[in-house]
Structure formats: C-alpha cells, structure tokens
A and B are shown apart, each in its own frame.
Chain A
C-alpha cells in the first residue's frame, strides 16, 4: 500500500479533482439543455403515462 501511495502522490493527480468538477458541470448542462430541447415532447408525454397505461396489474 505504501508503494501505491508513493506512485499516486507522484502522479500529480490533484488537479483532476477540479477537472472532474468542470466536466461534471458541462455534462450536467448538456443534460439540462437536451432535456428542454424541442422535439422530445411526445416521447416525454408517452413516458409520463407509461406507469398508468401498463397492463398486468391483477385486481
């Protein structure tokens, strides 16, 4: 384990925490934009009704 610590310490990875954060933000914005992009309304409406349109509930 000590060896591993040395290797990772030497690799200078600390900057990746910030890089990961920025990638996260960009990916998240991408999702939000695609969510509100036009052209998917029908799919969303269909999905919205999926649980209650289903069959196979006994009773």
Chain B
C-alpha cells in the first residue's frame, strides 16, 4: 500500500524525458523531508459533499413540484420564494463548494508535495463552512435575504464566510510557501484564482449597511446594484463552478485515465483566456434592461469570445482519453468524466449563444436559462464530482469500492435524469418565450392572459420533476456505495510516509544546470534571468496577476456604478414612503422576486403586456434592485393602479380564488401577521444614510406609516374587504404594489422595438 505507485502506463516516452535526477539525488547534502498527507480532512469534505448534495437536490425537487402544484407550498416558511434560494445556495456553495474542497485538499497536497499549512486551519475551514451552510438553511426559510441571487445570505453570515475564506486562503498559500515541488501545476493556479477572485466578488457585492441583526440594504441602488450583482453572479459561475472544476478535471482525469493531459499548453491557455475574458462578460445577464448599451455590447462580445477557450478545454479533456477509450467502457469513473466534459462543452456553447442579444431577447426570463444552468450543474459539476469521488473512495477509505455495478447504474440513471430534465425545461423555456411574444393577425397579443402561458408548461414541469427524481435516485445509490465502502475501511487508516527533497535556493533547471543564487538584492536583480524568474516566483506572479484581474475589473465596474451621468435622473421619481418601504421588505422576505421581474424591456410585446418600458432613472432609490431574472409570474414594474386594493388583498390571501389556474403560493399569514411599525424608523434612517432623500421621514417614519396604513385599510374596507388590516403586513405590501411604476406617468402606448 505504501510507497510510490507505478503509473507509467500510457506515457509517451518519445516526447517525455524524466527530469535528470542529478543534483538532487547524487548530491550528498540534499535534505530529504519525511511527511504525510492529511487525508482525514478530505474524507470529511467528501461526506459533506454527499450529504449537502442530497439535501440541496431534495429541496430542488420540492420547488420543482411546487411549480407544478402550488398546493405544495405547505407553510409560510416553505413557500417557493423562500426555498428557491435555499436550493441554489445549497447546490452551489454546499454541494459544489464541498466537492471543490474535497478535490482541492487532496490534489493540492500531492501537487505541492506538502501537507496543508495547518491541520487546525483545515478543521476550522471545514466546520466553519458547514456552520455557514446550516445557518443558510435556517435563515433563508425564515425570510432573511438580501434579495441578490446567490448572494442572499445576510450580513452576519457574509462576515463569517469572509473569515472562513481567509482561513482557507492562509492554509492554502501557507502550503504553497512550504511546497517541495517548484512548479505549480495548472490545477493549483485555478485554485489560487478562485480564492482571490471569490473573495473580492463576495466583499464588493455584499457591501451593505445593516438595518437590524438580519436585515441590511445594499449600498448600491438600481442599475449600479444590478451591474454589481451580475458582475458577481457571472464571475461566481466562472470562479466557483468553472475554473475550480477545470482544475479538478486537469488533476483527476489524468489520474483516472492513467495518462497525462493531452496538452499542457492548451490547459494554460484555457486558464488564462477564461480569467481574462470572463471578467468582461457579466453584463450579458442584463441585455435590453436599463443597462447602458456599451456595457451590454461589450458583455456580448466577450461572451462569444469565451466560446473558443471553453471548447479548447473540452477538446483537451476528451483527447486526454485518446488511446484509453476502452477504459471508459469498463470504468464508471471515466464515464462520469466523459459526460461531465461533454456537458461542459454543451453549456459553454449555449452560454455564448444565449449572450447574443437576439437570442437573449427570447430566452431571458424563461426556463431556457434554467435548462442551461442545469446542464452545467447536473452534468458538469455533478458528474465531475461523482467521477472524482468514485475514484477517491477506494483511496481514501483504503478498501475496494463496494460495487462498481451500482456506480454503473448510478451513471445511467443520472444521465437519463439529466436528459429528461433538460429536454423538458428547454422546451418549456422556448414555448413560453414564443408565447409571450406572439401576436395574432389583428396585431394584438395572442396570449394576453399570462396564466395561459404558464398552463402550457405543466406537462414539462412534471417531466422535470421526474428527471430530477431520477437524478436523486442516482444520488441515493451513490450514498449507499459510499456508506458500504466506508464500512469496509480498515480499523485504522494507513498513513504513508512520503519523502521528498526540500526546494533548494539554487534553481535546478530541467537540463541539470545549476544556477547559484547571487548574493545581494542588486546583484540578484542584475543577474535575474527574468524569463526564468517568472517560474521561480510563481506565487508572487500569480498573486500579482490575480490582483491585476481584480483591479482591472473594478475599473470596468467602478465608473459604471458610480458615475451619475450614466443614470439620468427623473424628477418625478420619489423615494418610497415608509409604509411602502416596509411593504418592499415584505416582498423581499417572501422572495417574490424569484417569480416576478420588475423590468420591462423595450419590446412591443412587453410594452403591450406590461406598459411603458423601464428607465434607469426609475430605480435610483432601489436598494437593492429587484429586477428579477425569471418570470414565473408576470412582470410587476407597472403593477401600481392596475387593480383595486381589495383585489390584491384577496389575491395574496388565495391567488386561485382570483385566478383559477395560478401557481402562485397563497400568503394568508400576511393578513394576520402584525407589521412592526417602530422598526420602520431604523430602515428609513439607513436608506437616508445611503443618500435617499427622506426629508421629514427620518424623524417620524412610524407615524407616517401608520397614517398611510389607516387610510389604505379604510379604502380596502370601503371596497367591501375585511376590517382591521391597518396594522397587518398585507397593508404595507399592497401599498408597495400600488406604488410600483407610478412615478412616471407615460401614456400606455405601445412602442415598437428599437
């Protein structure tokens, strides 16, 4: 079991000469260090990956079924709007996050020939990360959210994330500093890029001012907030779900195939192109919105350019298997990898395509985006994780895999599940997108009733639930295999002792030439072979590059969100009243933005359906912005005044009493739960701090809110509604809904597409 394992099969001796061992092995005074790897931490992360993966996917199944049957919204804290962020956060940060840590802790130690910097930090990282996940699982259903996709967690948890992330960074860079392998493999680079980039994305997007222990307002407003959010959201996909998993692919695929990566240069090129291009691509999430045109076009160009490196990476992965395809037939690990890489190729083809404005015009706000995301998440991230873990199981638990057959079944069941899911939701997206824009021969909307476009999707929603169920069945087989393999583990794990020489001050070039380090800074500077120095100082180099990436991206983002002239102000746009602000917070807490957009695009079919298209200047007081990204229900940007107050009260109490086929959850508790009038003052004060001109309201927000609530409750009563709503949450929500889009009184004439 101990000692080096021969993995020479599949090498190409013609091209590769092993490094001449000379100066190291034959020089008598070379120090050989003895050390061991910490696999205990890898085992911990592996188990967490499975557990949270299962939880996240089960919540996914629940929200899928809730869309097919709204009766499944069984309790106020288990409605779609609150569970959907739990699903996305769980699969991204808990499942894919723990999977990455599993792979990173295993590969980093071996690629650097060192144990992690500190076992204590490793454990702190592990338990800290799990504690964050648990707190997310508690706070999100309770309605504590910042309303920014994948950045929903409130400020105390955000701070905890930053602390744990720093611990991981110290542990990781400490290991690099102590490494016994001079050169950094491409996987290590992508880990570095991830650590640095995710940290800065997280910090900048979450900058907010607390208005309570679990409530805060983003310091950015409207367009600027949207820009920041999708700079974050897009790059989080890059540096949380793409480059780290590519790093894992470049490590575990060669391991499993027992042959080196097809082209190392291509892998480097792939890495840098992604780092350089992704940063600029974020605005493609906001096409045809109130975002400046130049930003949108730039985002599109860079997204299309991203297609090339992504496919380079896919081809590199697949060609690594050349000459080993017979192994794919026998080895479930490789099967999972092949489908993962193929899914990566499909998702990265589709992504640039979706960023093309005309395609985006059809796909945005529809299920097409959801299908795209699941090709990536289920296919690429999921299957890469499964392949990696099946490969790791016998090595970590030091026992043969319990059942290869079962792994094989897992593979087929899950593959079929993905197909079912993606085909169903892809066609749901295209169907609904086409129905929204369809006009009849008289020039009117062919489907003016929004619910009609929802009902059409029901068979596909059930098909998705079936596909998701299959994927979860696969997950259960996976768990059983993990459990049974674990049970075969030895009484105590063997910990092999590794020996490797320390890095010497002299730089040993591959050709055996020894360059002694010159004495003195100046001498060293003069004697520096700069080309070689780059490799000699990979840490400095990589960190500097990462910093450059961040600085450059901030230069792109900063002017956009801070320069006033980019957002023309509209004189008639006024801040929300204290009561409306409280209603907006109810809207945020219930997660209504998960189903409703507030952003009408300048298309005739949209202005016809919803009214005048949205202007950047309308959102200057929106901390945070609530544009939304998916229209499961209709856009609400011009909802104000569309219906009587009582309509909203009844509709919130039971949507199906008003719209028979609605899939919106019922919110009867809003008619009973009291509104915290006193607490409104603090919220208004924080808004005022952020520059919202609240005037008198900073002194008497609760009184103003009470007065407005009283008159609105009277109005509801006058319309024949229930009595005594003046101190209930529903009143604030109705006040907010009735305000939406009313500040600009544009005539509701249809405008043609520009």
Q: Which residue from chain A places its CB closest to the CB of B497 in the assembled complex?
A: A56
User: In chain A, what residue has the closest Cβ to B16?
Assistant: A45
Which DSSP category, helix, strand, loop or mixed, fits chain A's interface?
helix
Is the beta-carbon distance between B1 and A34 smaller than 8 angstroms?
no
A49 lies within 8 A of B260 (CB): yes
B344 → A minimal CB distance (Å):
19
List chain B residues, Cβ under 8 A from A23.
548, 552
Are A31 and B272 neighbours in the complex by a CB distance under 8 Å? yes
B717 to chain A, nearest CB (A): 40
Which chain A residue has the least Cβ–Cβ distance from B258?
A52
Please give me the residue from chain B that is nearest to A13 by CB atom.
B559
Range class of the B interface residue count: 35 or more
**Residue on B nearest A36 in the bound complex, by CB:** B265
Partner of B183, one of A21, A43, A54: A43
CB distance A46 to B37 under 8 Å?
Answer: no
Docked-complex contact A35 and B265, CB < 8 angstroms? yes
Determine whether the beta carbon of B268 is less than 8 Å from that of A35.
yes
Residues of chain A within 8 A (CB-CB) of B259 are: 52
Let me know if A34 and B395 touch, CB within 8 A: no
Contact A52 B260 (CB under 8 A): yes
Q: Which residue from chain B places its CB closest to the CB of A14 in the assembled complex?
A: B559
Residues of A within 8 A of B219 (CB): 1
A28 touches B1 (CB 8 A): no
Q: A5, A9, A34, A57: which has the most chain B beta carbons within 10 Å? A: A57
List which A5-23 residues lie within 8 A (CB) of chain B.
5-6, 8-9, 13-14, 16-17, 19-21, 23
Closest Cβ of chain B: how far from A18's Cβ, in Å? 9
The answer to whether A14 and B563 touch across the interface, beta carbons within 8 angstroms, is: yes
Is B556's CB under 8 angstroms from A1's CB? no
Q: B172-187: which have CB < 8 Å to A? A: 181, 183, 185-187
Cα-based distance from A40 to B510 in the complex (angstroms): 9
| Residues B555 and A13 in contact, CB atoms below 8 Å apart | yes
From B187, B255, B398, B560, contact of A58 by CB (8 A): B398
- Contact, CB under 8 Å: A17 / B559: yes
The complex places the Cα of A40 from the Cα of B511 at a distance, in Å, of 11
A57 to B393 CA separation, bound complex (whole angstroms): 11
Q: How far is the CB of A10 from chain B (nearest CB, A)?
A: 9
Closest to A50 in B: B185
Is A24 in contact with B552, judged by CB distance below 8 angstroms?
yes
Residues of A within 8 A of B395 (CB): 57-59
In the complex, A55→B259 CA distance in Å? 15
19 more CB-based (< 8 A) A-B contacts, given A4-B562, A8-B559, A55-B5: A5-B691, A6-B564, A19-B555, A20-B552, A24-B276, A24-B552, A31-B272, A39-B531, A44-B264, A49-B11, A51-B255, A52-B259, A52-B260, A54-B111, A56-B37, A58-B39, A58-B396, A58-B494, A58-B496
Which B residues contact A (CB, under 8 angstroms)? 1, 3-5, 7, 10-11, 15-17, 19, 37, 39, 107, 109-111, 113, 181, 183, 185-187, 219, 250-251, 254-255, 258-261, 264-265, 268-269, 272-273, 276, 280, 394-396, 398, 493-494, 496, 498, 510-511, 531, 534-535, 545, 548, 551-553, 555-556, 558-560, 562-565, 689-691
What are 25 contact pairs spanning A and B, CB under 8 A?
A: A9-B564, A9-B565, A13-B555, A14-B563, A24-B280, A28-B272, A32-B269, A34-B534, A39-B531, A45-B17, A46-B19, A47-B185, A47-B186, A48-B16, A51-B107, A51-B187, A51-B254, A52-B7, A52-B254, A54-B113, A55-B3, A55-B496, A56-B109, A57-B110, A58-B1
The 10 residue pairs across chains A and B that have the minimum distance between CB atoms: A42-B510, A55-B4, A2-B691, A8-B562, A48-B264, A20-B555, A20-B552, A14-B559, A59-B395, A48-B260
